[in-house]
């Protein structure tokens, strides 16, 4: 098969087509890993130099520093910066339904809201698939209330939860219209629904509070011509059918730590959605050998590659504990053995020996 651009490779994969080779990209690559492999590189520079397949961005929101490692973002939430690339929300501005009804969210039409996207589109449109991080139904409510307060509100103040979800749906649909106008290729949403043990709420509560909004926001993204990669960690088996029935195009990352088997999901649902994942970043990429990383990656290629519809990546992100050489081994294995048609006859030991 003729070599494709990264943009073609990703977009056709999201349509569950076989391409020239399995694509690869990550939501987050910690700067320590980036700099070990490509010194002083930004994420944009790293994407180019490593030959990844998607250029990722998000709407631009401002923040102000309010203390050591603490910031208040434009949503009014207080974030704390730790050792990883992403910050953690430690306090939100909404505690009651009265707070919500006087709350003013960031303006989706503010000047320079999409400046980062515009710059990426101007430079890379048609070369890389351009993905924009928006949300669906849980992250914004969680960030505005705090996780524990939100979980209690599901029982104590269900109307507050419903109105928070409505706010999230409304503002993300507005932003989707703007990013579509500016040339985005796809949306990825990062709203986690589960821990490693189980979803954060019962399937019945998910169906009542979150599923209608999820369907609404996915349908609206599609109306703008934007395929949707839905990210959620954890054991999502009890709500998996609803997530897929919402109309998403791709599910990420099928968390192995939570017992999610990407091969099993491919067999059961691969005719409906593409998949992204799931080389184990908690153990394999962080603590095991290059040989074990190659074996893990090869198994995913063999079990999910045939027929297309697979993007191989880590099971969450390339965080600071990942060994740079292990990340490099995963990428090289995808590129060397993820070519279509997938060769199912190669022996893992020979592949490992060849890499080593």
Half-sphere exposure of 35 (CA within 13 A, CB side): 5
**C-alpha 31, offset from chain centre:** 18
Domain parsing of the chain, residue ranges = 6-52+273-356, 93-252
Angle, CA of 341, 343 and 344, to the nearest 5° = 130
pTM for the model: 0.96
Whether domain 93-252 has CATH 3.30.930.10: the reply is no
Task: Kindly report whether the peptide bond that precedes residue 278 is cis, defined as omega within 30 degrees of 0.
Answer: yes
Could you give the C-alpha distances from 300 to 52, 294, 295, in angstroms and in order? 18, 10, 9
Query: Distance between CA atoms of 127 and 211, rounded to whole angstroms?
Result: 35
**Res 349: pLDDT:** 54
Contact 184, 224 (CB under 8 A): no
**Res 85: pLDDT:** 79
Q: 76-80 — which CB contacts under 8 Å span 24+ positions? A: 76/103, 76/144, 77/143, 77/144
Contact 304, 263 (CB under 8 A): yes
Find all residues with CB under 8 Å of 316, minimum gap 6, and list them: 27, 233, 253, 255, 281, 282
Contact 107, 178 (CB under 8 A): no
137, 139, 141, 144 alpha-carbon torsion, rounded to 10°: -160
Query: Distance between CA atoms of 18 and 274, rounded to whole angstroms?
Result: 11
- 66 exposure class (CB count in 10 Å sphere: 0-12, 13-18, 19+): exposed
**Res 217: pLDDT:** 98
The alpha carbon dihedral of 5, 7, 10, 14 has a sign of negative
Each residue's pLDDT expressed in tens, for the chain with a length of 356 residues: 789 999 999 999 999 999 999 999 999 999 999 999 999 999 999 999 999 999 999 999 999 999 999 999 999 999 998 888 788 899 999 999 999 999 999 999 999 999 999 999 999 999 999 999 999 999 999 999 999 999 999 999 999 999 999 999 999 999 999 999 999 999 999 999 999 999 999 999 999 999 999 999 999 999 999 999 999 999 999 999 999 999 999 999 999 999 999 999 999 999 999 999 999 999 999 999 999 999 999 999 999 999 999 999 999 999 999 999 999 999 999 999 999 999 877 656 565 665 55
Q: Which two tokens stand for residue 148?
A: 């524990």
Query: Distance between CA atoms of 257 and 247, rounded to whole angstroms?
Result: 25
Could you give the C-alpha distances from 240 to 16, 70, 139, 194, in angstroms and in order? 19, 36, 18, 11
Query: Distance between CA atoms of 189 and 133, rounded to whole angstroms?
Result: 6
């Amino acid at each position: 098969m003729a070599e494709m651009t990264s943009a073609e490779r990703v977009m056709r994969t999201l349509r569950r087509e076989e391409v020239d080779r399995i694509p690869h990209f990550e939501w987050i690559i910690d700067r320590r890993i980036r700099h070990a492999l490509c010194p002083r590189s930004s994420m944009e520079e790293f994407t180019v130099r490593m030959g990844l397949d998607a250029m990722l961005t998000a709407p631009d929101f401002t923040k102000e520093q309010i203390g050591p490692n603490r910031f208040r973002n434009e949503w009014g939430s207080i974030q704390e910066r730790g050792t990883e690339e992403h910050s953690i929300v430690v306090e939100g501005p909404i505690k009651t339904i009265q707070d919500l009804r006087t709350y003013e969210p960031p303006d989706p039409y503010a000047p320079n809201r999409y400046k980062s996207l515009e710059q990426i589109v101007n430079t890379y449109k048609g070369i890389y698939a351009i993905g924009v991080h928006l949300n669906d139904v849980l992250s914004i409510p969680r960030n505005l209330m705090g996780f524990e307060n939100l979980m209690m509100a599901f029982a104590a103040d269900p109307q507050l939860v419903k109105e928070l979800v409505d706010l999230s749906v409304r503002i993300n649909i507005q932003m989707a219209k703007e990013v579509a106008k500016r040339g985005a290729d796809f949306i990825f949403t990062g709203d986690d629904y589960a821990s490693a043990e189980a979803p954060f709420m019962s399937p019945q509560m998910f169906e009542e509070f979150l599923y209608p909004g999820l369907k609404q926001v996915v349908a609206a993204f599609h109306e703008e011509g934007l395929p949707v990669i839905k990210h959620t960690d954890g054991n999502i088996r009890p709500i998996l059918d609803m997530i897929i029935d919402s109309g998403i195009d791709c599910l990420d990352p099928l968390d192995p730590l939570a017992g999610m088997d990407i091969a099993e999901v491919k067999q059961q649902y691969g005719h409906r959605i593409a998949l992204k994942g799931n080389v184990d970043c908690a153990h394999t990429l962080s603590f095991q050998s290059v040989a074990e990383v190659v074996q893990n990656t090869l198994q995913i290629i063999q079990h999910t590659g045939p027929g297309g519809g697979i993007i191989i990546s880590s099971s969450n992100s390339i965080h600071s504990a990942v060994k740079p050489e292990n990340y490099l081994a995963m990428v090289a294995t995808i590129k060397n053995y993820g070519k279509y048609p997938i060769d199912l006859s190669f022996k893992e030991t020979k592949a490992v020996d060849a890499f080593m």
